[in-house]
Amino acid sequence: QGMHLLDFLNPWLHSTARVGLNDITSDSNPGCNTDGFPTIVGWDPMCPTRLVFVLFLF
């Protein structure tokens, strides 16, 4: 279907693991003299990245 091998992962994590995940609704991920990416209700730019990184560690 023209999808990358792991394109299904993010929607799958959000649909099946929603009970085990907490939505981060405040703060940001500052670094390198920047304010970073702010969080909002329902979408956090860094959370899936961290989760995938942790999954690949194990």
Segment 10-38 mean pLDDT = 70
7 pLDDT exceeds 60?
Answer: yes
Q: What is this structure's pTM?
A: 0.30
Looking at residue 25, what is its pLDDT? 73
Which one has a higher pLDDT value, 1 or 58? 1
Handedness of CA 21, 36, 43, 6 (dihedral sign): negative
Print the SS3 string covering the chain.
Answer: CCCCCCCCHHHHHHHHCHHHCCCCCCCECCECCECCCECECCECCCHHHHHHHHHHHC
